[in-house]
Each structure stands twice: as C-alpha cells, then as structure tokens.
Copies of this chain bind each other. A is one copy, B any other.
Amino acid sequence: MDQPTKKKPSRIQQKNRKRILEAALDVFSQHGYRGATLDQIAEAAGLSKPNILYYFSGKEEIHVTLLNRLMETWLDPLAEMDPDGDPLEELLAYVRRKLQMSRDFPRESRLFANEILQGAPRMAPHLQSGLKPLFDEKCTLIRMWMDQGRLAPVDPGHLIVSIWATTQHYADFDAQLGVLMPPGAPGAESFLDTLYTRLLSPLAQGTA
C-alpha cells in the first residue's frame, strides 16, 4: 500500500523516527494533544523542529502514528484470553496482564486516556474497527462461560469495562494515588484478584 512511494526506510530514518516517537510519547502523554508543542517534542528528541517535520508531515501525523501503534499493544492482553482455558483463571490472568500493562506503559495509558477524554477525535475509527470486534467477541465468550455455569452471571460488557477502569486507573490517576497512598499502590494486584474472584466465582453465594 506504500511500496510505490517509500521503498526502504534507511537506517538513519528508522532511528530518528523512533527517537521522535519516543519523545512525542513523553510529551503528548504529559500535556495532551493540544498542550504538546513541536518545540517540546523536538527538544526531547534532541532534534530541531524542522528536522522533525522532515520525518513527519506534521504534529497530527506524529500523534496518529502513536495512536496506531498503541492500539495493537493495547488489544493484546484481551486477545490472549483463551476460550479453552479455565474461565475464572483466564479472566484473572487478563486482569493481571492489564494491570501490568498499566504499570509498564503508563505513558501509553495516559495518551489513550487523553484521547478518549477529548472525545476520541483522532481515534473513533480505530475503536470501531479494532476494539469493537474484539470486545464483542470476548463478550460472547464470557457469556458462553456464564451460560455453562462456569462463571457467576454478570453483564460481560460491564465486566470488561470495569476491568479497564480499575486497571488503567492506576496509571492514569497516578498523581491522585500518589497523594492518597504510600508509593506505587502496593496490593493492587491482590485487591483486584479478590474483587474479580468474588464477583465471578460460580459457587454463587447470597444474591442481594
């Protein structure tokens, strides 16, 4: 799809594009799209502003490139949920992967959060085409597990969304958590384990 125009990115091109994206991730995730400036990105990347515009056609292209890359990484943990595994184990493993991802890639998480907060102006299509199908697929899978009595019944959509909410919160609201809790919020893993174990254990208890 882009062979005719761009044959092969030279070594130096690859290196500099990577440096720019790395710097841009820092800046965008910290200040949001409109709050970030090309000068900031340029300085963080150790390049001049016009030089950056030699590698990317503009601010927006940098941002969109980051968002595209992010999408794959972001969907991964959900995609890994195995239909043939033990339901509760699969769900809990997913929660752990997602939490770990928030820990390992807080900048990516904030970039994403920022974009969604502003109404996903540059991401709506990707949500439709990338996230939605996977979301629906996993909802169906979870519903099946529940119908088989292998998980306590709850709305699968809200379940997944709640997992996103709780896990990403640790990255996105770090500034708040830093004030309220010691450092890094230890114990999040075991809390979430307990939360979702009690929610989903098929040995149904008293219903409220």
Roughly how many angstroms separate A35 CA and B161 CA in the complex, as a whole number? 28
- The answer to whether B117 and A113 touch across the interface, beta carbons within 8 angstroms, is yes
A190 and chain B: residue at smallest CB distance:
B155
A162 and chain B: residue at smallest CB distance:
B166
Our pick among B113, B135, B191 for the contact of A155 (Cβ within 8 Å) is B191
Our pick among B132, B168, B179, B197 for the contact of A131 (Cβ within 8 Å) is B179
Q: A164: CB under 8 A from chain B? A: yes
Copies of this chain, tallied across the complex: 2
Our pick among B31, B116, B193, B195 for the contact of A162 (Cβ within 8 Å) is B195
- The answer to whether B116 and A176 touch across the interface, beta carbons within 8 angstroms, is yes
Q: A85: CB under 8 A from chain B? A: no
- The answer to whether A193 and B208 touch across the interface, beta carbons within 8 angstroms, is yes
Stretch at the interface among A42-50, A57-65, A120-128: A120-128
Q: Which residues of B contact A199 (CB under 8 A)?
A: 194-195, 198-199
Our pick among B30, B116, B201, B203 for the contact of A172 (Cβ within 8 Å) is B116
Q: Which residues of B contact A169 (CB under 8 A)?
A: 161-162, 164-165, 169
Q: A1: CB under 8 A from chain B? A: no
Q: A180: CB under 8 A from chain B? A: yes
Contact with B along A132-170 (1 / 0, CB 8 A): 100100000000000000001011011101101110110
Which residues of A, 69-125, contact B by the 8 Å Cβ criterion? Answer: 110, 113-114, 116-120, 124
